[in-house]
Structure 1
Amino acid sequence: MNSIDIDSPYALTPAQIAQFERDGFIKLKNVLSPATLKHYGDEITRLTIALNTQQVPLEERSTYDKAFLQVMNLWEQSAIVTEFVMGKRLGRIATELLQVKGVRLYHDQALYKEPGGGITPAHADQYYWPLSTDRTITAWVPLQAVPVDMGPLGFYARSQSVEFGRDLGISDESEEKISANMAKHGFEFCSGPFDLGELSFHLGWTFHKAGGNVSALPRAVMTVIYMDAEMKLAKALSPAQENDRAHWCPGAKPGEVIVTPRNPLIFSKQTP
């Protein structure tokens, strides 16, 4: 698989789908070719550098801001990135892992951990999301291989049903309390390098974290967050969720299916 390909099916096995349902995450090898990652990664990197607004020196930032440079909804800035985010290959994987009929976009975000960048504290993404069910999934797509010294993402297996820590955003407090609770209850932390073309998918409530980047190169990652195509907007439970609602689901109403221009249908089993 050397050509540029974001639409052809990736063969998931029933065992992999069952593994994801059990563990709340999965890492998959050879999902995207080196040529595909280079083609789209060059544009993602260009935009991330151009649109990044972080000007504070690394050593003076908060723990959150030391973790990564974060630029969201690149798909609205570039036709090339739109192609990538709307790609059927990842959308089909997300649909099959969630065991739903189709998926819409919640939003995308580039996460660049600079050389010397700090840890990504333990957290669950869905803390930020005003969504009515747990049928949400993030594709974590490294644009290069990620050895251990770059800070690859790691996951607490089977933590997606744990309610402790769901009220904690990314912070020193979340790292301390969630990590301690996971250790106390014996949840396995699964972490390791990512090969080129390998990526991961995790549920919105799966706890995860990443180490610092002690290498000399940036850890360039693109993420796409998918939700069940029939997802309804929930009432915002915090200022963080209200902020997300305003930014990523503009015009959607609580109790109704989220269908807005910012939440296009990416994949449906009815229209493969």
Structure 2
Amino acid sequence: MEYPVSQEKISFYRDNGFVLLEHVVSGEELAELREAMEEVMAADSELSFDREKGSAYYNILNQKVNTWRDSAGMAKFSLHPRFAEIALQLTGAAAIRLFHDHGLWKMPHDSKPTPWHQDAPYWPMRQTGALSMWLALDDVDVSNGCMMFVPGSHNVGKLTGINFEQPRSIFDEVEGTAMNAPVVVPLKAGSCTFHHGLTFHYAHANRTDKPRRVLAVIYMPDGTVFQSRNGSGINDHVVTKAVPFRDGDPLAGRFFPVLAKAGRK
């Protein structure tokens, strides 16, 4: 199915740095995606990677990155043109590439909140136009880890990355800057948000008996180039470690495919 995005939604995203889109997958697709994610999160990783269980980070977020490389079931959704077309419309880019996907589980009972942060400081990109889709596989609210966003916060620029295990307040970096009040965004399963890589966001702890399951996919405009974060001029990001990128190299090739192009049906 196609998913037309209204001009109102596009304008809302560009003004606020995030947008909620309802029912982007059908009930049948949702069941298929849940099954694929259960399998890939339980399996030993080959081309994807995950966080060590039992670590402090695991209590904040259990994630597996690049699930599409190990699982055809996940690839069907992570590479799906429907979602990439939405990213294309929201950004107005000429073409959209995949950066990577995440299977995200916020574990039950002992999980901790995901602190306020921007995504862009963790991505080895010179440009800041990348964005994330956050697709809920379960109904999410404040009891099991729904997100909050600060509208318009993508306009303050790229700040320093937050250490999730020992977080400081990102708001200290913008002290004196007028900021909008945070907005809580609960979602029904099968609905999603898209948010800009510079948008301040936060996820509540999961206090329920079941994992909170999400597929997140990061998209970037074609032409985005690599920029190392360690100052060495070579790749320092786990997603790109298998590819010898240097500063200024385009993030392209078979691991970062074009998924949507303006004017292409």
TM-score relative to the length of structure 2: 0.88
**Unmatched segments (≥5 aa) in structure 1:** 1-7
Residue 53 of structure 2: aligned partner: 55
Query: What residue is the counterpart of 2:170 in the other structure?
Result: 178
Secondary structure at the residue paired with 1:139? strand
**Residue number in structure 1 paired with 2:189:** 196
CA distance in 1, matches of 2:143, 2:28: 24
Q: Hey, what's the Cα distance between the residues in 2 that align with 1:207 and 1:55? A: 27
Name the residue aligned to 2:47. Answer: none
Matched ranges for 1:74-85 at <5 A: 74-85=67-78
Who is 1:266 aligned against? Answer: 259
Report the alpha carbon displacement of residue 155 of structure 1 after superposing the two structures with TM: 0.9
Partner SS for 1:251: coil
**Of 23, 26, 29, which residue of structure 1 is paired with 2:16?**
23
Secondary structure in 1 matching 2:63:
strand
Give the corresponding residue for 2:26: 33
Letter in 2 for 1:50: A
Following the alignment from structure 1 to structure 2, what is the Cα–Cα distance between the partners of residues 204 and 37? 26
Deviations 1:69-98 (A, max 9, x none): 111100000112111111111000001111
CA distance in 1, matches of 2:164, 2:247: 28
- Counterpart in 2 of 1:217? 210
Instruction: Tell me if the contact between 1:17 and 1:96 (Cα under 8 Å) persists in the aligned partners.
Output: yes
Distance 1:245 1:66, change over 3 A: closer
1:1-272 superposed matches below 5 A: 8-51=1-44, 54-56=52-54, 61-62=55-56, 64-116=57-109, 117-163=111-157, 166-171=159-164, 174=167, 176-179=168-171, 185-237=178-230, 242-244=235-237, 247=240, 250-272=243-265
Q: Is the 8 A contact 2:97 2:220 kept in 1?
A: yes
Which amino acid is the alignment partner of residue 8 of structure 2?
A: A
Pick the structure with more helix per residue. Answer: 1
Change (3 A) 1:15 1:248: farther
Q: Are the equivalent residues in 2 in contact too, given 1:146–1:195 (CA < 8 A)?
A: yes
Distance between the aligned counterparts of 2:73 and 2:215, measured in 1? Answer: 13
Provide closer, same or farther for how the CA distance between residues 270 and 250 of structure 1 changes in structure 2, counting only shifts above 3 A: farther
**Contact kept? 1:107, 1:248, Cα under 8 Å:** no
The CA distance in 1 between the partners of 2:40 and 2:73, in whole Å, is: 11
1:256 Cα deviation from its structure 2 partner: 3.1
Local SS of the residue matching 2:135: strand
Residue type at the aligned position of 1:178: I
Contact 2:85 2:260 in 1 (8 A): yes
Change (3 A) 1:247 1:255: closer
Give the % identical residues.
24
How far residue 154 of structure 1 moved from its aligned partner, in angstroms, is 1.2
The 8 Å contact of residues 34 and 196 in structure 1, kept in 2 or not, is answered as no
Does the CA-based 8 Å contact 2:235-2:244 persist in structure 1? no
Distance, in Å, in 2 between the alignment partners of 1:13 and 1:122 is 29
